[in-house]
Amino acid sequence: MSDNNPRPIEAHEGGKTRTGEGLNVLRVDASARSEGSSSRKLGDRLLERLHEESQTAPSVKHRDVAKGLPFVDEEWVGANFTDPSERTDRQKQVLELSDDLVGELREADVLIIGSPIYNFGIPASLKAWIDLIARARETFRYTENGPVGLLEGKKAYVLMASGGTRLGSEIDFASGYLRHILGFVGIHDVEVIAADRGMARGGEALEMALAEVDQVELPSLQLAGTSH
Ligand SMILES: Cc1cc2nc3c(=O)[nH]c(=O)nc-3n(C[C@H](O)[C@H](O)[C@H](O)COP(=O)(O)O)c2cc1C
């Protein structure tokens, strides 16, 4: 889709179109670079499009995980595994950040993850975010047939950059993992766009990925349904 006509983005809740309300966008960035980052440039471009083509301005929450997130530790695991009704004040406090991260993910209609490949996988900061949002009873639950994701009706864009690793190759342990973990929490509608092998391809890698962002289908939005 490459027409230049701005078109409205509609959001549906149980078949009802939301009017007067913009999209909720959660943008998660993991590049350690604030300047010159290809994955961040891809995110900027996608957000520009969402702003330009939405009738009502989207509401954007930016979570820059490269600024640092704690790793889950013994106390966190203990708190998470304690039944919510039995948690102590201290345990509630330990889970506060994780609760906030889960809350903003739940609220999002659109998730944009910008991530480099670091050492053939995702940056540790992004893994820390994943460890904090992948929570039984909150974003997935166990059933007789195995785990089921609880986040429904979301659209995700995964915008990646690499120096030499070809996306989708057998040494790319990042994109497949991101797809898997998003699916695990119920986010199955995932577009992956990559400025990959930037070292070998030079500026072309970013240019082509930006062109893909310009063409990618924007969501005909569905709300997060039952997970709200
Ligand atoms: C710590 C570190 C590890 C990296 N490891 C890889 C790697 O395994 N494979 C790869 O293709 N590029 C690797 N790179 C290069 C980055 O993926 C590349 O520079 C990419 O453009 C970074 O994303 P950004 O432009 O959004 O910052 C690494 C870069 C850093 C800083």
pLDDT confidence band for 222 (50 / 70 / 90): very low
CATH number of the domain at 211, please: 3.40.50.360
Look at residue 6 and tell me if it is in a domain: no
Reported as a pLDDT band with limits 50, 70 and 90, residue 39 is very high
- Residue 211 in domain: yes
Q: If pLDDT is split at 50, 70 and 90, which confidence band does 55 have?
A: confident
| 162: its two tokens | 């690499």
Q: Which two tokens stand for residue 73?
A: 């530790």
User: Is residue 32 in a domain?
Assistant: yes
Q: Report whether residue 164 contacts ligand 1, using a CB cutoff of 6 Å.
A: yes
Mean pLDDT of 186-193: 98
Q: Compute, in angstroms, the gap from residue 61 CA to the centroid of ligand 1.
A: 25
Report CA-CA distances (Å) from 133 to 31, 55, 88, 111. Answer: 19, 31, 21, 13
Helix (H, G, I), strand (E, B) or coil at 43: helix
Q: What is the pLDDT, as a whole number, of residue 20?
A: 52
Sign, Cα dihedral of 70, 71, 75, 80: positive
Residue 119 domain boundaries: 24-227
**pLDDT-based confidence at 28, cuts 50/70/90?**
very high
| Position 186 in a domain | yes
Which amino acid residue places its CA nearest to atom 31 of ligand 1? 118
Does any domain span residue 15?
no
Ligand 1 and 119: CB distance under 6 A: yes
Is 213 or 19 the better-scoring residue by pLDDT? 213
Q: Which pLDDT score, from 0 to 100, does residue 21 have?
A: 79
Atom number, ligand 1, closest to the C-alpha of residue 116 = 23
Q: Whose CA is nearest to atom 19 of ligand 1?
A: 163
Domain assignment present for 2 = no
SS3 179: helix
Whether the CB of 162 sits within 6 Å of ligand 1:
yes
19 domain-assigned = no
Q: Each residue of 72-89: pLDDT tens digit?
A: 999 999 999 999 999 999
In the predicted model, what is the mean pLDDT of the chain? 90
Task: Indicate if the pLDDT at residue 6 is higher than 90.
Answer: no
The answer, yes or no, to whether residue 37 has pLDDT greater than 50, is: yes
Whether residue 223 is contained in a domain is answered as yes
Residue-wise pLDDT for 117-175, tens only, equals 999 999 999 999 999 999 999 999 999 999 999 999 999 999 999 999 999 999 999 99
The whole-angstrom separation of Cα 96 and Cα 90 is: 10
CA of 162 to the centre of ligand 1 (A): 5
What values do phi and psi take at 87, rounded to 5? -70, 140
How far from the centroid of its chain's Cα atoms is residue 167's Cα?
Answer: 18
Number of domains into which the chain is organized: 1
